Structure 1
Amino acid sequence: MIDVQELSVSFGNGASARQVVKNVSFSVAKGETLGIVGESGCGKSTVLRSLAGLDRHWNGRINLAGTDVDKVRTRDQMLLTQMVFQDPYGSLHPRHRISRVLTEPIRAMGLGKGWDKVDAALQQVGLPVSFADRFPHQLSGGQRQRVAIARALMLQPQIILLDEPTSALDVSVQAEVLNLLADLKDERQLTYVLVSHDLGVIAHMCDRVLVMKGGVFVDALSREDLYEGRTHNDYSRMLFEASAL
């Protein structure tokens, strides 16, 4: 479903240019959840933004669902992926009712008005249809993130990109959101790429994990590796030990 070859991302020009992702390659099978883990600033969210088409500073090759995508995406290419962001407080327009938040992707793609899809979208993420008339500030953090997930599904993408989707939520709510994501993945045969610094979240959700440091992948871990705490790199071992503490 995802095939990335020699992806590099640089910001700035000339002597001030800084390469934040350095010729990384990876693939993700249909229906798989790939995790990317590493400390802040290592480049993992930049990889995600490149896949989503939000960042155009990349070079290399990105193939999504058998289609090589461009830096400037066509409409059909944009329909392949959607992204759920870290902060449910900042990713929803504060002055738009939830119904408008949910229909925005449909209208932006010129696929109609989308009002008839709002009730089903809320129900699929476990929210009452009455929330359609509310504003984001009238919802809890977990409810807002459910709305963000529903919005990401409105265009029926094949790939969902998750950028720290639970890190801004209370611990009591995190498991609910992760379980929702897992259920939706199974129901819709979705493919996920999940970026996180939380190894607990990664272990709960992911089939495989890539460990990133300084813009490159330094380790690849299977689900069995995660459960057994087995690593193949000193940096990965340090991450596991810090998480255990």
Structure 2
Amino acid sequence: MSTKDHAIEIRGLDVVYGEGEHRNHVVRALDFDVRRGETLGIVGESGCGKSTVLRCLTGLERGWSGEIRVEGSPVSHRRTQEELRRLQLVFQDPFASLHPRHRIRRAITEPLRCMGLAVRPGQVEDALEQVGLPGNFAERFPHELSGGQRQRVAIARALVLNPPILLLDEPTSALDVSVQAEVLNLLSDKKDAEALTYVMVSHDLSVIAHMCDRILVMKDGRFVDEFAPEAIAARRGTDPYAQHLIDASFV
């Protein structure tokens, strides 16, 4: 497959914190690609390095070495506005990711202001309606919304810049089970409608199997297995750790 078909290309991604006896090698020389229009899942236990990979991609983590290419172009540790616009992140906790004293209108327009873009009349209301929320929610505060509604706002905020790539950091783990499916279905619908590319990290294999085309298993900063979502239903992994995760998802 040509590199022009890749939304993301990673070569030798490495992240190390501290020195000497306090040295923590969080991400270890990762190589992987994400095809355009694909949903790639990364699974593993807490602390294995999943979220750090997303932080490197989005530009929040600058202490990395290796090579990152986004839509064919290499990116450095300091991103241009255009590079930042291409990848947007939906965080794990929708309440923590929204400023409690800012109305929803300000939360959604913040990325536009940061990029120096004008906010057109009705843009916030349109963004809310595209994620299944009434336009008048723009005048509410985060505490006036449910967890699922806050996560919809977070998705609207990520999509307002029309990014081709969305990074999803455990996007439903802070939600009640009853609303998890609603948010996942919304993400699926937006992906199909706008031909988006997703990278999703999670420890929940049922979520990953529902959303992803391909799954990478991460342990201690490395990828130890790769399989299709059908392998989870078949309870079949190559690496012993991956097999353990699959078996545990059925318990």
TM-score interval, normalised by the smaller of the two chains: over 0.9
How do residues 81-120 of structure 1 correspond to structure 2 at under 5 angstroms? Answer: 81-114=87-120, 116-120=122-126
Is structure 2 residue 58 aligned with structure 1 residue 47?
no
Distance 2:223 2:15 in 1: 14
Question: What displacement does 1:14 show?
Answer: 4.4
Distance 2:95 2:21 in 1: 37
Question: What displacement does 1:113 show?
Answer: 3.4
Question: What's the TM-score once normalised by structure 2's chain length?
Answer: 0.95
Unaligned runs of 5+ in 2: 1-6
Residue correspondences, number: 245
Is structure 2 residue 169 aligned with structure 1 residue 163?
yes
Unaligned runs of 5+ in 1: none
Is structure 2 residue 123 aligned with structure 1 residue 137?
no
Q: Deviations over 1:20-69 (max 9, x none)?
A: 00001100110000000000000011001101110001100000111101
Code of the aligned partner of 1:17? R
Change (3 A) 1:208 1:160: same
Distance 1:188 1:55 in 2: 27
| Residue aligning to 1:218 | 224
Code of the aligned partner of 1:53? G
Q: Deviations over 1:120-168 (max 9, x none)?
A: 1000000001101000000000000000000000111010000000000
- What SS class does the counterpart of residue 119 from structure 1 fall into? helix
| Residue aligning to 1:27 | 33
| Residue aligning to 1:243 | 249
| Residue aligning to 1:200 | 206
Question: What displacement does 1:210 show?
Answer: 0.3
- What SS class does the counterpart of residue 231 from structure 1 fall into? coil
- What SS class does the counterpart of residue 152 from structure 2 fall into? helix
Alpha-carbon contact 1:103-1:114 (below 8 Å) kept:
no
Q: Percent identity?
A: 60
Question: What displacement does 1:177 show?
Answer: 0.2
Distance 1:152 1:110 in 2: 16
Question: What displacement does 1:17 show?
Answer: 2.4
Code of the aligned partner of 2:150? R
Q: CA RMSD in A?
A: 1.0
- What SS class does the counterpart of residue 10 from structure 2 fall into? strand
Distance 1:142 1:80 in 2: 25
Distance 2:10 2:169 in 1: 18
Question: What's the TM-score once normalised by structure 1's chain length?
Answer: 0.98
